[in-house]
Structure 1
Amino acid sequence: MLLRTIPRERRDMLGEGLLWSAREDAVYWTDILGRRVNRLRLADDRVDSWEVPGTIGWVIEREDQPGFIAGLDRRIVALTLDPVTVETLADPDRDGNRMNDAKADAAGRIWAGTMSMDGEGPSGSFYRFDTDHTATRVDDGYRIANGPAISADGRMLFHTDSGLRTVYRFAADEDGALGPREVFVRFEDGWGDPDGMTLDAEGGLWIACWGAGRVTRFTPEGKRDRSIDLPASQITNCTFAGPGLDRLFVTSAADGVDEPLGGALFEVDPGCRGAPTHRYRG
């Protein structure tokens, strides 16, 4: 099975926020604690990196405008990279918190979770950021809000509290209203902690397993299906990429560990195809 470490000069303190850009044929990701946005061009494996003025959890492409929407510190901002510019669009969260992970849905909205800077207290929330730049808190009480993933039809949304080692599931309406929070999977001992997530074309949920050095697929029924081991323990996020959506890229973290490949970006062969990436329509 393919397992490739992407060659580059630096490692991420806390890699996160993977994004497949079909229009650029590139993979973007963030280094939250290193305060950077990174880009891998698939055509030639070139990696570029931009320093930004704050902790940055995620970037999501805009549909009809240049640049990105990003989670910077506790804010939701409009971000460009050449040059780096920042415009605050919403500042909905509590003092001492920061943005952690997010995804766009097929309607062009963004779903984003927050957490405290130390990840200790249940001060994190889950937000819906609509195309009119309105941020609405849709759930609360998270220690480490992580890994939104949204079904292809937009009717099912998955969200995680890594601190509780639990993946939740919500039914979603067309207008963005969520049903009750339900437990989808509770991680068992030895599985690590659930982190970033992505869905494949068959509805399987791929979860980065922090502390366990792997990504694991769960069936739509919540059954642990298969795992791919990686040469770093702190695995943080995963996304399908490439024109066929058949390449799986995986981020990791170097912060707090002494590992040769901690903080590296990996590519593995998942043996399946992913679901398309959506852009923000505001």
Structure 2
Amino acid sequence: MTEIRIVDTAGVRDQLGEGLLWSARDGVLYWTDIIGKALNRLSLASGTVDRIAMPEMIGWVIERDSGGLIAGMQTGFHAVTLDPLAIVPMLDPEPDLPENRLNDAKADAEGRIYAGTMPLSCDVPSGALYRLDPDGTLHTLERDIIIANGPAISPDGATFYHTDTGRNAIYRYDRAADGSLSGRALFIDFDRDWGSPDGMTTDAEGHLWVAHWGGSRISRFAPDGSHQRSIALPASQITNIAFAGPDLDRMFVTSAADGVPGEADAGRLFEVLDPGVRGLRPGVYAG
């Protein structure tokens, strides 16, 4: 059985942990607490964890080529620098939908960001999937989404995966060199006994790793959609997965404590020891 380590975060549990990102530049693992309005930072060298308060809900951060980070918050895309903290609004994709927020995102190898939105109520299809190009142009790729989640891209960049957690479905797209998507098809119809699909990442072998919200595990799926393996975790609401470290051979997983007060390890950050596979280098926003 795969061994799981609970990362020491000085007793702090995330109400809704999400947005894992390995930064080789900073030598740290970032992740967010959406409901707790915080950005967490773990130094892999020292084990030190910092928790940085944010002014509003924050779903994710992505490195920026020009320095600092891009963050997805309730009111849209923001430029963020740390030490000292500075937050500058960039673009609100949905100014007419104040009850929506950005939820999850990934950058591709060309420096574009794919980011999805969702309603705070989690129950109406007011969400969408967007692509933010390096020149600041925003493209709407999909609408009618309940909970946009877990974008992931294959190693060759030709396949894009996206989840609607509210519909328990993971979709597969063909991705062109210009970043456009086509040929949407249902990739995995998540069985209700598995929970719901949440955050995702792809590994260096082109397999898709999926976090099970309400399912107490993460799973690996082959490019043809077949289930390869699952790893059990000591919390039910598993939210996101990322590979980290200089060799991208360390795997971290976030979880949520909100709504499950009886779970001792809910909201913890977990490390899957010896996952047996390496990840892909995270994309950096080129804008």
Shorter-normalised TM-score: what interval?
over 0.9
Shift of 1:84: 2.0
1:91-147 CA distances to partner (integer Å, 9 max, x unpaired)? 112231000000000000000000001111000000000001122111011111000
Confirm whether residue 274 of structure 1 aligns to residue 245 of structure 2. Answer: no
Q: Which stretches of structure 1, 4 residues or longer, exceed 3 Å deviation after superposition?
A: none
| Matching residue within 4, 25, 31 for 1:29 | 31
State the distance in 2 between where 1:154 and 1:98 align: 27
Shift of 1:81: 2.1
- The answer to whether the 8 A contact 2:155-2:205 is kept is no
- The answer to whether the 8 A contact 1:74-1:114 is kept is no
1:43-63 CA distances to partner (integer Å, 9 max, x unpaired)? 111101110111000000011
The count of corresponding residues between Structure 1 and Structure 2 is: 281
The alignment's C-alpha RMSD in Å is 0.9
State the distance in 1 between where 2:75 and 2:128 align: 11
Cross-structure match for 1:96:
99
Cross-structure match for 1:3:
4
| Matching residue within 234, 245, 248 for 1:231 | 234
Q: TM-score, with normalisation over the residues of structure 1? A: 0.98
| Matching residue within 196, 218, 221 for 2:221 | 218
State percent identity of aligned pairs: 54
Q: For residue 212 of structure 2, give the secondary structure of its aligned residue in structure 1.
A: strand
State the distance in 1 between where 2:81 and 2:26 align: 15
State the distance in 1 between where 2:181 and 2:259 align: 36
Q: For residue 40 of structure 1, give the secondary structure of its aligned residue in structure 2.
A: strand
Shift of 1:28: 0.3
1:134-167 CA distances to partner (integer Å, 9 max, x unpaired)? 2211101111100000112221110000011100
- The answer to whether the 8 A contact 1:210-1:234 is kept is yes
Shift of 1:8: 1.4
Confirm whether residue 183 of structure 1 aligns to residue 183 of structure 2. Answer: no
Q: For residue 136 of structure 1, give the secondary structure of its aligned residue in structure 2.
A: strand
Q: TM-score, with normalisation over the residues of structure 2? A: 0.96
User: What residue ranges of structure 1 are gaps of 5+ in the alignment?
Assistant: none
State the distance in 1 between where 2:179 and 2:91 align: 18
User: What residue ranges of structure 2 are gaps of 5+ in the alignment?
Assistant: none
Q: For residue 180 of structure 1, give the secondary structure of its aligned residue in structure 2.
A: strand
Q: For residue 179 of structure 1, give the secondary structure of its aligned residue in structure 2.
A: strand
State the distance in 2 between where 1:134 and 1:75 align: 14
State the distance in 2 between where 1:243 and 1:50 align: 24
Letter in 1 for 2:28: A
1:163-204 CA distances to partner (integer Å, 9 max, x unpaired)? 111000111111111103211101113111000000011111
State the distance in 2 between where 1:244 and 1:267 align: 15
- The answer to whether the 8 A contact 1:70-1:78 is kept is yes
Letter in 2 for 1:261: D
State the distance in 2 between where 1:281 and 1:21 align: 15
Letter in 2 for 1:24: D
Letter in 1 for 2:74: D
- The answer to whether the 8 A contact 1:90-1:134 is kept is no
Confirm whether residue 252 of structure 1 aligns to residue 255 of structure 2. Answer: yes
Q: How does 1:32-43 map to 2 (within 5 A)?
A: 32-43=34-45
| Matching residue within 115, 118, 121 for 1:118 | 121
